[in-house]
Structure 1
Amino acid sequence: MRLLIARCTVDYDGRLTAHLPEARRLIMVKADGCVAIHADGGAYKPLNWMNAPNKLEEEDDRWVVTSPKGETLTITLHERVWETETELGEDPGLTKDGVEAHLQELLAANTDAIGENLQLVRREYPTDIGPVDLLLRDAEGQAVAVEIKRRGEIDGVEQLTRYLERMDRDPLLRPVRGIFAAQLIKPQARVLAESRGIACVEVDYDELRGIESDELKLF
């Protein structure tokens, strides 16, 4: 991980053009090549970024990041304020809370709650950017990747999208379809998922545990 605080201007040229005027910002370069520019605000979201894989060329006062698609991110450095670089090592990944971990266990044992004619291949199927919760096969043998959340939000859809992109590189798996499963899926997350061809499934945790719903039923 490399961190640089600098007074800089930033220009992006690709699907559109964008310009950040001169200001102090944090520039982050991760070990996988991802480059992100942050302001002192706005929570976790960077002002601009370039995902890996890419190529970073450095000059004294300018960094140019180029993607395989020809997009460029040009960072012009007007003043270097502070810089450090350190090796973080391999990350063990996110530890799920008790509900999410139990949901995964229950859905692995009851795949009909996700969809019909789905067979479990493996829980925590590894990719080079982390494990997807469930890998299933449908009746036609197509691979199905399932990401499970207690509360389904946009970040979970983005996470599953990244897993699907990596899994589709494996000729033994592709094409891989995705299912986003959660107790509750927010409308914005559902819209994003469906726009990417990802199915959404809301699951009842209590029902999976064998606890009857408080709702009145005819039968």
Structure 2
Amino acid sequence: MRLVVARCSVDYAGRLSAHLPLATRLLMLKSDGSVLVHSDGGSYKPLNWMSPPCTMSVVEPDADQVDAGVAEIWRVSQSKTGDVLLLSIHEVLHDSEHELGVDPGLQKDGVEAHLQKLLAEQIDVLGDGYSLVRREYMTAIGPVDILARDHQGASVAVEIKRRGDIDGVEQLTRYLELMNRDPLLAPVQGVFAAQEIKPQARTLAIDRGIRCVTLDYDALRGLDDSHSRLF
């Protein structure tokens, strides 16, 4: 991972446009090709980012940009969508690279692990004719929670969260990109399943062709029958 602290402005162009004015920010360049722009606030979420597959090139600024103080421009292009992230670097305050190695992946808490077990046992919650292939299907970047097949025999990758947010959708997107390269699995559809799914995560999932399923933990445990309730 490369970490750069720089005074920069950032522009995103594609399906939507966004601009971050000149300020000092942390730029993270990961080995998977993703680029994230962070400020010293806002918790863990980046201000803007580009997800893989993408490529980065360094572009010389034009005369007007040089006069404005731009030393170099980083152009990050998304290979599939054509979206572009432009980082206008005015001054680099820190630049370092670190080898993090292979991450073992997130260790799920009790509720999340139990949700996975219950859904695997009741896979028809996802739809009639669904069948379980296996839990914890391993990919090159970690295990997807459930690999299943739908009523037509097509592969379905299911990512399970207690609370579904944008990071979970991004995680499932990375799994799907890898799994769809396997001719024995492709085409692989995605299902994002959680007890609660945030509106932004649902919007992103739908935009990427990922189906969202809200899980009723009590119903899966047999403690609540939603069909027998009056309200």
Of 147, 159, 162, the residue aligned with 1:150 is: 162
Shift of 1:106: 1.8
**1:166, 1:206 → 2: CA distance?**
33
Would the alpha carbon gap of residues 65 and 106 (structure 1) be closer, same or farther in structure 2, given more than 3 Å must change? same
**2:40, 2:48 → 1: CA distance?**
13
Given the two structures, how large is their TM-score scaled by the length of structure 2? 0.78
Would the alpha carbon gap of residues 44 and 214 (structure 1) be closer, same or farther in structure 2, given more than 3 Å must change? same
**1:28, 1:2 → 2: CA distance?**
6
The answer to whether 1:198 aligns with 2:210 is yes
Matches within 5 A, 1:107-126: 107-126=119-138
Would the alpha carbon gap of residues 43 and 174 (structure 1) be closer, same or farther in structure 2, given more than 3 Å must change? same
Given the two structures, how large is their TM-score scaled by the length of structure 1? 0.81
CA RMSD, aligned part only? Answer: 3.0
**1:19, 1:123 → 2: CA distance?**
42
The answer to whether 1:52 aligns with 2:52 is yes
**1:14, 1:209 → 2: CA distance?**
44
SS at match of 1:21: strand
Name the residue aligned to 1:65: 75
Q: What is the identity, as a one-letter code, of the residue corresponding to 1:115?
A: G
SS at match of 2:185: coil
Q: What is the identity, as a one-letter code, of the residue corresponding to 1:62?
A: E
Matches within 5 A, 1:1-219: 1-15=1-15, 18-58=18-58, 61-67=71-77, 68=79, 70-211=82-223
More deviation in 149-158 or 208-217?
Answer: 208-217
State the identity %: 61
The answer on whether the counterparts of 1:28 and 1:36 sit within 8 Å (CA) in structure 2 is yes
**2:41, 2:25 → 1: CA distance?**
10
Name the residue aligned to 2:66: none
More deviation in 93-102 or 177-186?
Answer: 177-186
Q: What is the identity, as a one-letter code, of the residue corresponding to 2:170?
A: E
Q: What is the identity, as a one-letter code, of the residue corresponding to 2:41?
A: G
SS at match of 1:147: strand
How many residues are treated as equivalent by the alignment?
218
The answer on whether the counterparts of 2:74 and 2:89 sit within 8 Å (CA) in structure 1 is no
Shift of 1:182: 2.3
Which stretches in structure 1 are left out of the alignment for 5+ residues? none
**1:6, 1:185 → 2: CA distance?**
35
Q: What is the identity, as a one-letter code, of the residue corresponding to 1:208?
A: L
Instruction: Provide Cα deviations, 1:120-148, integer angstroms capped at 9, x if missing partner.
Output: 11111123333211001123211111111
Shift of 1:162: 3.2
Name the residue aligned to 2:67: none
The answer on whether the counterparts of 2:25 and 2:37 sit within 8 Å (CA) in structure 1 is yes
Instruction: Provide Cα deviations, 1:14-69, integer angstroms capped at 9, x if missing partner.
Output: 44554433221111111222122222222223233222333333479324234235
SS at match of 2:99: coil
The answer on whether the counterparts of 1:120 and 1:134 sit within 8 Å (CA) in structure 2 is yes
